[in-house]
Amino acid sequence: MKRTFDTGNAAITEAAIRAGCNLFAGYPITPATEIAENMSRRLPQVGGYYLQAEDENAALHICNGGSIGGLKAMTATSGPGFILFADAFGWAVSSEVPVVIVNSQRVGPVSGITGAPGQGEFYLSRYLTHGGNFETIVLAPSSVQEAYRLTVRAFYLAERFRTPVIVLADQMVTDGWETLELPETDAEFLAMGLEVVPRRIHPGPEFYPATDDIDVPPVVLGHNTGAACSDWTPTDRGHDTEDITWQHKHAWRLIHKILNHRDLIDEADQWYLDDDPEVILVAYGTPSRVVQNAVNAARRDGLSVGGIRPISLWPFQDHLFKRRAIYLVVELNWDGQLVREVQRAAADGSQVHFWGRCGELPTSAELLEDITTLLKHEPLARDGWRTEKW
């Protein structure tokens, strides 16, 4: 292992290179710019292509185009660019094209505040395009080291599921400096639980089989297989159709290839849940680091507290919330997004509370105060929008 001290941006870059990425198209945007910069330096060294697109819409379309030519493509952005992916994201979902998208969340809405962390795209990452009829894979790192691991995973899942995979990071994960261990040998890489799936080429003619199977090779053009892919509802051969029975087969496949293979996607950290704690804190990304500290501290004080950190965000892991408990969901936004899913998934009789803030992290002390209040079954103090019963 090569032990370094580096940023999440660097970790994501090295992970992409290790996963075989050979095309990056992006548009500079804070706080994801350094990923583009790092890729512009690293990709040519390994024979890959770096492009600066005219906008994010073009960036993801260039990635899609490269991917249907057989390249492994990635783009990276933040909120204002993420929203521009809608068009190309839908194309990749429907055409079943592997591509990796990194979003370093900052404070919104719109341009908002550039250099501070937010968590405003929890739902947008699930529904990054219109029309419905699909499932999305979203992974959320909470550290520099995990940014490396999940970026490699994203490429792996994108190939196996032939779909875009989103790495939903935040500004502190991508800009933050931490210890980063990089595997130097294949054995070390495998020992990290990581794997690379090389691009396969679908031989045709049934490019869109009516099955929920994964590991169907993607459509790759240029090999005279009669490959056909488009934004239209496809028949099994990729021809455009307005026949609703084909549409049903297509939608069924887009949904169930993911839902029926969740064992490959689902991932979470669960802290101190074995003794069915009374209060359970929930967070993803950087805030989960504070949550973990607060839960550890509460446990040291003998409090009945546990924690859940979803690592894969979508498909949402309802099963994590089957304990009846008092949930406190901590997010870097004021409107509450993750909390809505927790509220929906939580076991009957549970309470679900929201702890929101944007641009800066909560402190352990703040969370401990609220944990104590909840354990006393007292209402959370309202400090502006800080704590709100959902």
The residues that touch other proteins, with contacts defined as CB under 8 A, are: 23, 25, 43-45, 47-49, 51, 53-55, 57-58, 61-71, 73, 87-88, 90-91, 95, 221-232, 238-240
- Whole-angstrom distance, CA of residue 98 vs CA of residue 72: 8
Residue labelled with tokens 């770096």: 50
Long-range contacts of 231-239 (CB under 8 A, 24+ apart): 231/90, 231/91, 231/94, 231/95, 233/94, 234/94, 234/95, 234/207, 234/208, 235/208, 236/206, 236/207, 236/208, 236/209, 236/210, 237/204, 237/205, 237/206, 237/207, 237/208, 238/207, 238/208
- 298: which 2 tokens? 């509460």
Q: How far is the CB of 254 from other proteins (least distance, A)?
A: 17
Tell me the closest approach of the beta carbon of residue 228 to other proteins, in angstroms.
5
Nearer to other proteins, 45 or 349 (CB): 45
Count Cβ atoms below 10 Å from residue 257 Cβ, excluding itself: 22
Cβ contacts of 19 within 8 Å, gap of 6 or more: 72, 151, 152, 154, 155, 156, 196
Q: Which is nearer to other proteins, 87 or 195 (CB)?
A: 87
Q: Which is nearer to other proteins, 43 or 332 (CB)?
A: 43
Q: Specify the residue, 54 or 276, whose C-beta has the smaller distance to other proteins.
A: 54
Residues in the chain: 390
Whether the Cβ atoms of residue 21 and residue 51 lie closer than 8 Å to each other: no
Bridge-based pairing of strands 351-356 and 326-331 is parallel
- CA gap 344, 153 in Å, rounded: 28
Q: Which is nearer to other proteins, 71 or 328 (CB)?
A: 71
Contact between 328 and 336 (Cβ < 8 Å): no
CB 97 to other proteins: min, Å = 10
* 131: its two tokens: 């029309």
Q: How far is the CB of 204 from other proteins (least distance, A)?
A: 9
Rounded least distance, CB 251 to other proteins, Å? 18
The DSSP letter of residue 240 is B
Per DSSP, helices labelled H in 273-317 are 287-300
* Residues in CB range of 302: below 8 A, 6 or more apart: none
CB of 19 to other proteins, least distance (A): 17
Nearer to other proteins by Cβ, of 134 and 355: the residue is 134
Between CA 204 and CA 222 the distance in angstroms is 13
Residue placing its CB nearer to other proteins in the complex, 239 or 323:
239
Cβ(22)–Cβ(69) below 8 Å:
no
Q: How far is the CB of 41 from other proteins (least distance, A)?
A: 9
Q: In whole angstroms, how close is the CB of 51 to other proteins at the nearest point?
A: 7
Distance between CA atoms of 227 and 44, rounded to whole angstroms? 29
Nearer to other proteins, 62 or 107 (CB): 62
Q: Among residues 11 and 58, whose Cβ is nearest to other proteins? A: 58
Nearer to other proteins, 243 or 360 (CB): 243
Using the 8-state DSSP alphabet, how is residue 67 labeled?
H
Using DSSP, state whether 195 is helix, strand or coil: coil
Rounded to a whole number of angstroms, the minimum distance from the CB of residue 348 to other proteins is: 43
Give Cβ neighbours of residue 244 (< 8 Å, ≥ 6 apart).
none
- Residues 132 and 251: their CA atoms lie apart, in Å, by 9
Task: Find the shortest distance in angstroms from Cβ 224 to other proteins.
Answer: 4
